[in-house]
Structure formats: structure tokens, C-alpha cells
Amino acid sequence: MAEGFRTLIVGGGVAALEGALALRDLAGDRVTVTLLAPEPDFVYRPLRVKEPFGLEQAQRYPLSEIARDIGVELVRDRFGWLDSESPVVHTDGGDRLSYDALLLALGARLHPAFSHGLTIDDRRLDEQLHGLIQDIETGYVRSLAFVAPSAMPWPLPIYELALMTAHRAYDMEVELSVTIATPEDAPLAIFGIDVSQAVEGLLSDRGIAVLGSAHCSVPEPGLVLIHPGGRELRVDRVVALPELFGPSTPGVPTGTHGGFIPVDVHCRVRGFDNVFAAGDATDFPIKHGGIAAQQADTAAMAIASLAGAAVEPGPFNPEIHAILLGADKPLYLSAHITGGHGSASEVSEEPTWSPPTKIAAKYLAPYLEAREPQGTQ
Ligand SMILES: Cc1cc2nc3c(=O)[nH]c(=O)nc-3n(C[C@H](O)[C@H](O)[C@H](O)COP(=O)(O)OP(=O)(O)OC[C@H]3O[C@@H](n4cnc5c(N)ncnc54)[C@H](O)[C@@H]3O)c2cc1C
């Protein structure tokens, strides 16, 4: 590949692929793109919630094929540390990758927030929840709490899992009490009031109780303490979302909370001219695939401009779209994000964006729609 403006993208998830596709569109041959990613495949994480119910498996797309298809070089290795003086990224495998611009899209690290209960890990959700669902089907488990840690991670899965579990119990004609305990002041509060009210109604129709503004601890198996107030919830099983932390990126500054990478409105890492970050790795408080993609698009505009393309970098102006699964029909949710809450909140049973995919991403969504996934697992 001819040497253009060298852009190194670290990661092989939503933000990384969206960034690579956006750069191809915005800067064409002016940039050469290298993708540094340890895993062989891009996995469509939102569909993992269906796996424990035997409904569908998350699609996988080999990164090597995507890289070949869009004309980027793939290096299968891990980010080790950044020497911004040189400037070079050192990989765990001992390589030194130099760049003119760097986009960090390493995602978040997952940690259990509670020492008791089951903390979901979407890489093995099927294995984790399959037994629980069987215990519900046979009537062995009759009460269940889905608990989110105090810093709400991805907004959707807790609601989707609760809805699908309640639905399965109903189908099997078994009694099951389902409670969601969440630090949000209302269900899916970041989507704004209209969405929250619609989701609240849906959950109530399904007999799912919601404890909002709940900061929980799980001091022993089956016991959830809700703060403030000290209310106790006793259930047969507790399923918790993980707490998210920023990635380990030696040489890159981390913000004050959770080790996330601090970025400005152009998704430029604070203190750097040519280092950008996008997605769950950044200090933007909402962790969502569509948001990751918009951040990657914002960074790609700034990088294309640095490479000399006729692109005016615009600021990150977050808009959130989501498809909530688990009701009779999928619900299409949208909002503009202002100050951590949604305005222009919209809920519909019909798609309101195109293509209407779980991860709303300007370039990645149509690209994946046009590709065949390969072998699910
Ligand atoms: C169960 C579930 C359901 C979800 N549902 C939705 C939904 O419906 N809609 C939606 O928009 N979002 C949804 N999300 C959230 C969405 O999946 C994430 O916000 C999104 O994947 C973030 O993208 P990312 O690129 O920042 O990080 P990731 O997708 O996590 O990608 C990070 C990449 O970095 C790589 N990496 C990690 N460490 C290194 C290293 N040291 N060196 C190099 N590479 C590294 C990883 O291998 C990976 O390829 C859901 C998440 C889960 C878990």
C-alpha cells in the first residue's frame, strides 16, 4: 500500500470499524489505515442477549475479510503502550507502529460490581444464563432480580434480559417475580421522558417491578440491599450488569473516573493534537454502540482534515437510537442527548432511522447489511 497519511486505529469493535470506514469515505487514498486488534472477529454484541433463550446467535465477521475488503492493513496484536514523543505505539507482541494520527477504540473493561450473584459477561452469556433459564422453566427459580451497578453501563441489556426472561416464564406457565434495580431515576432515563414512560408501561404490563434511583449492594447470595433507604429485596437469584472501566492505555492520560480516556468535542484526547479516542473507552458517560460510532465519525472528520482532505471537522453532537427487544414487537427508541439526559425523546413500533439496525452507525450499519456474517458461535 502506498504510504499516505498514516492512521493507526486500535481495536476491532464498533468504533474502530466505523472509524476505518468513515476515513475511507472522507479521505480516500490520502490516508493509509492500520487496524491493531487482538481478536479474529468483529462480533455483533447486541444480539448476544438472544443467545441464552435459543432465539438467535450474534453474527461474527472475520476482521481479516473486512480489512481486505475496505483496504486497510490488519495487525493481530494488542496495544501495549504509547510513546507519544516518537510517536509510536508499542504492541504486546513487541512491534512498534508509527502513525501520523492515532484513534484509540479499545472498548471498556468489565468487572463484577458485586461479590455475590451472577455478573453477565456478554462473551459467554449463553453459557452463563442457560442453566438459570432452565431452572425458571422447571419452577426451581421463582424470583429474580436484575441489578445494575451505580454507574450504569450499557443501558439496554438489563431491560431486554428482564423482558425476555419474564416472557419465557409466561410461555412456560410458571410463576416468576422479576425486579429490575437500577440507579437510573426512570427506566432508560437517558432516552428522555417519553421513552421512559413507554418502557415503564411495558414493564408493568409484563409484571416486572422497577426500583429506580437504586444504588445496590449484594452482601450475600439472594439479598439485595437498596440504598438510600436500606430496603431489602430477597430473591432466588441475582443477575448483575458488570461495572465498566476504561482500558489500560499506558502513555495515554486517563480521566478522574474509572480510567476512561478524556476527549474533547472532536474526540481528540485531551493534551494531544493527533491522538483521538472513541467508544466505550472514552469518558463520555453513555456507553452504547451508536454513540461509539458517532464518536468515531467525529474523530474521522478531524483526522481527514489533518490529512489534508477538504473536510470541516464538526463537533460530537450525540443522538441515541436503540431497538429494545423483548416486547411482542421491537420498540424503536431515539433521543438527542443533552447533559446526560435525552431530549426530543421518541418511541415507535416502526423504524425511525435507516438502516434500522441495533447499532445505528452511519457507515458500519449499511456495510454490515450488505455483507454475509460468517459462522456464528
Ligand atoms: C449485551 C449487550 C447488548 C448491547 N446492546 C446494544 C444495542 O442494542 N445497541 C447499541 O448501540 N449498543 C449496544 N450495546 C453496547 C455496544 O455493544 C458497545 O457500546 C459497543 O460495542 C462499544 O464499541 P467500542 O468499539 O467502543 O468497544 P468494543 O465493541 O468493546 O470493541 C473494543 C475493541 O477493542 C479491542 N481491544 C481491547 N483491548 C485491546 C488492546 N489492548 N489492543 C488492541 N485492541 C484491543 C477488542 O478486542 C475489541 O475489538 C450492547 C452491549 C452489550 C454487552
Which numbered atom of ligand 1 lies nearest the CA of 154? 15
Q: Is 11 in the pocket of ligand 1 (CB under 6 A)?
A: yes
CATH architecture of 112-243: 3-Layer(bba) Sandwich (3.50)
Q: Is 333 in the pocket of ligand 1 (CB under 6 A)?
A: no
Residue 47 DSSP class:
G
pLDDT tens string for the chain (377 positions)? 447 899 999 999 999 999 999 999 999 999 999 999 999 999 999 988 888 888 888 889 999 999 999 999 999 999 999 999 999 999 999 999 999 999 999 999 999 999 999 999 999 999 999 999 999 999 999 999 999 998 878 989 999 999 999 999 999 999 999 999 999 999 999 999 999 999 999 999 999 999 999 999 999 999 999 998 889 999 999 999 999 999 989 999 887 788 999 999 999 999 999 999 999 999 999 999 999 999 999 999 999 999 999 999 999 999 999 999 999 899 999 999 876 566 778 999 999 999 999 999 999 999 999 987 775 44
- Per CATH, 5-108+246-315 and 112-243 having the same topology is answered yes
Residue 286 DSSP class:
-
C-alpha 213 – ligand 1 centre gap (Å): 26
Cell numbers at 132, concatenated:
438459570
* Residue 38 contacts residue 77 (beta carbons within 8 Å): yes
Strand partners, 147: 181, 240
Which numbered atom of ligand 1 lies nearest the CA of 248? 41
Cell numbers at 35, concatenated:
487496524
Q: Is 187 in the pocket of ligand 1 (CB under 6 A)?
A: no
Pocket test for ligand 1, best of 47, 156, 161 (most atoms within 8 A of CB): 156
Q: Is 37 in the pocket of ligand 1 (CB under 6 A)?
A: yes
> Domain coordinates of the chain in residue numbers?
5-108+246-315, 112-243
| Distance between CA atoms of residues 103 and 285, nearest Å | 19
Q: Is 50 in the pocket of ligand 1 (CB under 6 A)?
A: no
Of 282, 275, 303, 278, the C-alpha closest to 292 is 278
Q: How far is CA 267 from CA 65, 72, 89, 283, 314, in A?
A: 28, 22, 19, 10, 10
Residue 340 pLDDT: 59
Cell numbers at 70, concatenated:
475496505
Q: Is 107 in the pocket of ligand 1 (CB under 6 A)?
A: yes
CATH architecture of 5-108+246-315: 3-Layer(bba) Sandwich (3.50)
Which numbered atom of ligand 1 lies nearest the CA of 15? 25
The residue contributing the CA closest to ligand 1 atom 32 is: 107
DSSP letter for each residue of 164-220: HHHHHHHHTT---EEEEE-SSSSTTGGG-HHHHHHHHHHHHHTTEEEE-S-EEEEEE
The residue contributing the CA closest to ligand 1 atom 18 is: 289
Q: Is 293 in the pocket of ligand 1 (CB under 6 A)?
A: no
Residue 290 pLDDT: 97
Listed as own residue / partner, the contacts of 199-204 with beta carbons closer than 8 Å and 24 or more positions apart are 199/159, 199/324, 199/331, 199/333, 199/347, 202/163, 202/327, 202/331, 203/159, 203/162, 203/163
Residue 229 pLDDT: 87
Q: How many CB atoms lie within 10 A of CB 230?
A: 7
